[in-house]
Chain A
Amino acid sequence: MRKSIPSLRGPAIVLAVLAFVFLMAPEFYTNHSVLLTMMTFMGLAQGLNLLYGFTGYLPFGYVGFFGTGAYATSLLVTFTGLPILVCVLGGGLAAALIALILGPLLRLSGAYFSIANLAASQIIYFIVANEDLKSITGGPYGIKIEQVYAPHASYLTMLALLLVVTALAAYFRLSRFGLGLKAMNQDPVSAAFAGVNVVRERLIVWLVSAAMAGMIGGTYAWDLSVFYPSAVFTLQISVFAIVFALFGGVGTVIGPLLGAAVLYMLYDGIGVSAPQYFELIYGALIVGLVLFLPNGLMSLLTRRRINVL
């Protein structure tokens, strides 16, 4: 039989390395915003990996949950004055609620799901950014929550979320629940006859993935503390999360983290100073990825039968 308590050493090491790197990084590199944004994208790539890597649903509209979390958190700060961490949690719940409403999308398959999810995210964007809601959301003029600005606390919160979402990926990879996911990913009908509650497992993953994006969005908003709706709803966020996750390798724990770290550094290194070269290199990277490494960086190891987390 499968070992009932899977080895926790691998996940423990990954989490310890992540924590160490991002706790130490500010000592050596003082650009707070770069480090925080990097963690944001690592978290988003991992959150997207929870859904895409473990159920095969690719959410083009993943940014919708991020933006929902950013706005829900900000509105909670503005209108309730609850402690900021409660507001961030509220951002996660709001995103999960949207995911619950969008639950029927899971009946669609492949590209239909992706496109419907994309459309849903844009609808949320248009609602939030609507001039008529100016008195609540700030409409197109954005929102301010400077009263809670605390860069050190938001940094640590983002790190905590990155650890949580990574622990979830490890859980999906190693647990009984994950075994069910693996089975239904390969053949949902057979999985049902093996006794797996396919619809429920899928919905749980969808809600968890959305909630993580929501909390990450809330923390990102907290860190910015002043932002336009486009800053948290731009499709570039979805695209980055997808490309980063795919580049590293979905369905693994380390892949999306690695992919996001490498590509975000590249983006930060050349994307900002020489965007025209960046687009070129990025485009070439994506094409190369699809052609030569469709399963991401991690497949360089798995192809050699090296077991990776």
Chain B
Amino acid sequence: MSSEPLLRLENVGKRFGGLTVLDQLSFSVHGGEIVGLVGPNGSGKTTTINVISGVHQADVGRVIFEGHEIQRLPSFRIAHRGINRSFQVPKCFREMSVRENVEVAATFANRGEVEIDGILEQVGLTSQADIQAGSLTVNQQKMLDLGRALATNPRILLVDEIGAGLNPAELGGIASLLTSLAARGIALIVVEHLLDFLNRITNRVIVLGAGRLLFEGPLKEASQDPEVVAAFIGG
């Protein structure tokens, strides 16, 4: 790995009321890398993405992107800097066409020209380009969510459970899309419960348990780690 990471979390902590959701969380991600983020339900995976993307602010700690602290920036500024994401429950502009959804992001992100048709093709929505986003299936909406993120020309992409509910062929398509993005130098953090899928595209995973980093390394070794096993079985 090159020396300077693209994104670094330093001792990030987040509480909701009395509940500690992220606890002293630190890790780094380099350009072109796909990092898996796994853990039991409620372990803080989505919250990690929310904190990086400015949906929630960390209570303590720092988030450093390209050498600058971003933990106090609002989401639209974070998007302007080149961090983008998809949502576990897809969010799109329901009363706009599929194409318009992508165009909005291309228009407002201020991150250079993007090829709308190319993005629609990448996410497999070319033939749906002119229909209303609200009438897509949930899986198609997830792809549109990703397309909206890609239209901002991101340097790092946070993908929250895009695989849930997809069949093996669709999963294969997404795996090759994500690896091709990484090959272009985009860093990806991929939250996923489907370990086979992660195994195919990552060489490193981060395992969270109750908001703490339990393990960092190749997925195969994670299953031998007693803390990880305890977190998944215990809870």
User: Using a CB–CB distance below 8 Å, which chain A residues touch chain B?
Assistant: 1-2, 176, 179-180, 182-183, 186-187, 189-199
A176 to B107, CA, bound (A): 8
Which A residues touch B84, using CB under 8 A? 193
Q: How far is the CB of A263 from chain B (nearest CB, A)?
A: 27
Candidates B92, B103, B111; contact of A190 at CB < 8 Å: B92
Contact sample, A vs B, 24 pairs, CB 8 Å cutoff: A2-B103, A179-B104, A179-B107, A180-B108, A183-B93, A186-B93, A186-B96, A189-B55, A189-B75, A189-B87, A190-B92, A190-B145, A190-B148, A191-B93, A192-B76, A193-B75, A193-B76, A193-B84, A193-B85, A193-B105, A193-B149, A193-B152, A195-B79, A196-B76
A190 to B55, CA, bound (A): 11
- Asked if A194 and B94 sit within 8 Å, CB to CB, the answer is no
Within 8 A of A (CB), among B34-56: 53, 55
A194 to B102, CA, bound (A): 9
Which A residues touch B193, using CB under 8 A? none
User: Using a CB–CB distance below 8 Å, which chain B residues touch chain A?
Assistant: 53, 55, 74-76, 79-80, 84-85, 87, 91-96, 100, 103-111, 116, 145, 148-149, 151-152
Which B residues touch A186, using CB under 8 A? 93-96
Given that A1-B116, A182-B96, A189-B55 are contacting pairs, would A196 and B104 also be in contact in the complex, using a CB cutoff of 8 Å?
Answer: yes
Which B residues touch A182, using CB under 8 A? 93, 96
Label chain A's interface by main secondary structure.
helix
Which A residues touch B87, using CB under 8 A? 189-190
- Asked if A187 and B91 sit within 8 Å, CB to CB, the answer is yes
Besides A190-B92, A193-B79, 18 other A-B contacts (C-beta < 8 A):
A1-B106, A2-B100, A179-B103, A179-B104, A179-B107, A183-B93, A183-B108, A190-B91, A193-B85, A193-B148, A193-B149, A194-B79, A194-B104, A194-B108, A194-B109, A195-B80, A195-B105, A195-B107
Given that A179-B107, A187-B92 are contacting pairs, would A194 and B152 also be in contact in the complex, using a CB cutoff of 8 Å?
Answer: yes
- Asked if B92 and A197 sit within 8 Å, CB to CB, the answer is no
**A179, A192, A197, A198 — which one has the most chain B CB atoms within 10 A of its CB?**
A192
Which B residues touch A176, using CB under 8 A? 107
- Asked if B107 and A193 sit within 8 Å, CB to CB, the answer is no
Q: How far is the CB of A79 from chain B (nearest CB, A)?
A: 42
A194 to B154, CA, bound (A): 11
A296 to B103, CA, bound (A): 29
A190 to B111, CA, bound (A): 17
A-B pairs, top 10 by smallest CB distance, nearest first, are: A195-B108, A195-B109, A194-B105, A192-B75, A186-B93, A192-B76, A190-B91, A194-B104, A183-B104, A195-B79
Which B residues touch A198, using CB under 8 A? 76
A176 to B53, CA, bound (A): 24
- Asked if B148 and A192 sit within 8 Å, CB to CB, the answer is no
**A186, A193, A195 — which one has the most chain B CB atoms within 10 A of its CB?**
A193
Candidates A1, A2, A179, A194; contact of B148 at CB < 8 Å: A194
Q: How far is the CB of B182 from chain A (nearest CB, A)?
A: 20
- Asked if B91 and A189 sit within 8 Å, CB to CB, the answer is yes
Q: How far is the CB of B215 from chain A (nearest CB, A)?
A: 30
Which A residues touch B149, using CB under 8 A? 193
Which B residues touch A199, using CB under 8 A? 74
A187 to B104, CA, bound (A): 12
- Asked if B76 and A197 sit within 8 Å, CB to CB, the answer is yes
- Asked if A2 and B107 sit within 8 Å, CB to CB, the answer is yes
**A179, A180, A186, A189 — which one has the most chain B CB atoms within 10 A of its CB?**
A186
Which A residues touch B74, using CB under 8 A? 192, 199
Q: How far is the CB of A171 from chain B (nearest CB, A)?
A: 16
Which B residues touch A179, using CB under 8 A? 103-104, 107-108
Q: How far is the CB of B13 from chain A (nearest CB, A)?
A: 23
Which B residues touch A197, using CB under 8 A? 76
A186 to B110, CA, bound (A): 21
A183 to B104, CA, bound (A): 7
Kindly report which residue of chain A lies nearest to residue B148, judged by CB atoms.
A194
Which A residues touch B104, using CB under 8 A? 179-180, 183, 191, 194, 196
Q: How far is the CB of A107 from chain B (nearest CB, A)?
A: 13
Which A residues touch B111, using CB under 8 A? 195
Which B residues touch A192, using CB under 8 A? 74-76, 79
Q: How far is the CB of B159 from chain A (nearest CB, A)?
A: 13
Q: How far is the CB of B191 from chain A (nearest CB, A)?
A: 16
Candidates B76, B80, B93; contact of A187 at CB < 8 Å: B93
A2 to B151, CA, bound (A): 14
